[in-house]
Chains A and B, each alone.
Chain A
Amino acid sequence: MFYATLEGLRRFNISHRFEFLSIISLYAKWIREGRLKVDSSWNKDGLKFTVQDPCKLVRQGLGDAVADDLRFVVKQVAGEANFIEVWPNRSNNYCCGGGGGALQSGFAKNRREYGKVKFEQLKKTGADVVITPCHNCHTQIKDICDFYGGGWQTTHLWNWIVRALKR
């Protein structure tokens, strides 16, 4: 969880010599620099994608800049026209309900109850694939998809980057 380390370093004033980065911004940087070559020609059937902006990475972490990087990568990988925005989004994203240790805390009924709003938002996009860069979001979004009967695939981003890789 990006925020756990970022905020931990800050709040406890932990001295360190490294720079702390998100892999999402790096994917975008490497694609922009031509270091990572991807194209969307594999997506012949026009599979539609949307994203879940993780609270810990976006609102509490690097803000809209990383949300934009996430969209940039998905568009490069899946094709510009195959990206559908969820609303609300970026720093204003509605929490999926899986964060804060909710998946560990054991109040599954509550977790699914508030996951319903997220389910409706995602369903409305009509996307076939929901990209979830965070494990908590991943587990929660997969669970509400199964529970409420959504038809999408819940996946990490890396599988699709590899799919679109040109070496």
Chain B
Amino acid sequence: MPDEKPLDIVRLRAWVKGRIERSVPDARIDYCLTCGLCASGCPATGIDGLDPRKFLRLLVLGQDDEILKTNWIYTCTMCQRCRYVCPMGIDVGRIVYEIRGMRPRDERPRNLQRSCDLQKETNSTGIPNEDFVWVVRDVLEEVRQNEPEWADINAPIDKAGAEYYLNQNAKEPTVEPEEMVPLWKILHAAGIDWTYSSKWWDGANYCLFTGDAKDWEMTVRKQAEVVDALGCRYYINTE
């Protein structure tokens, strides 16, 4: 086809590919059969002119500049359906994670990076820990007063030795505190011995999506330390 540009061999550096293969030894990038099964079940197919198969071809063919600059990596939701259907078990979402991490921090979507940075301080919406404690106590008091049948309900915080530790998506105490109540009611009705923590209580974690392993590790480690310090046997994730 005379109109098509031939592949620019000079650009065939495959530096990005090499780097991914070093950090994800089982990435199996070269095993792609180009069958397109991934593309057919991927929500990001066709957006910004890419799909998981094309994206993988760019990587295999060393088109590093394109790979590093396309915002398609933020259209891929890292849902891993590609991996689920791929006959070769290739996980494009995992590869996208690595590439997101190769972007300089100030070239990542601002709010996404911000949610992670806030989480590293306290939680993903950034409300102070004291406010979380205050909101929980305030909403609890309201339920006890307004709903006589739930007068004995509880929402313990930092209760050492509770059997279950419960995390809470920061969105609730921040913007829809009444959504915490049904959870408390369920735990109460089931007779569960549970607690929140006043620190690292947010179960959402956007540091999974910025591609920075250090940030992700730090936030999970903090949560694990808090739960172990409380001596809880089970850690319940609410979503």
Contact = CB atoms under 8 A, between A and B. Distances in A.
Interface string B112-123: 101100000000
Interface residues of A, number: 66
B54 interface: no
A167 B189 contact: yes
Nearest to B75: A110
B189 A165 contact: yes
Nearest to A115: B43
A5 interface: yes
B234 interface: yes
B190 interface: yes
26 contacts: A1-B205, A6-B237, A7-B208, A9-B224, A15-B224, A16-B227, A16-B228, A19-B234, A20-B237, A23-B183, A55-B80, A59-B84, A92-B81, A94-B43, A97-B43, A98-B77, A102-B74, A102-B75, A104-B111, A104-B114, A107-B71, A114-B45, A117-B43, A162-B182, A162-B185, A165-B189
Contacts of A93: 81
Contacts of B169: 135
Contacts of A106: 109-112
A102 B96 CA distance: 13
Contact of B77 (A2, A16, A100): A100
Interface in B203-239: 203-210, 213, 216-217, 219-221, 223-224, 227-228, 232-239
A105 B182 CA distance: 30
Interface in B58-96: 71, 74-81, 84-85, 93, 96
Most A CB within 10 A of own CB, among B71, B78, B203, B227: B78
Interface of B: 41-45, 47-48, 71, 74-81, 84-85, 93, 96, 109-112, 114-115, 149, 165-166, 169, 171, 179, 182-183, 185-186, 189-191, 203-210, 213, 216-217, 219-221, 223-224, 227-228, 232-239
B96 to A, nearest CB: 8
Contacts of B110: 106
B189 A36 contact: yes
Contacts of B165: 18
Interface string A149-166: 000000010110110010
Given A59-B80, A104-B115, A18 B239 contact: no
A99 B206 CA distance: 10
Nearest to A15: B224
A134 B204 CA distance: 10
B233 A18 contact: yes
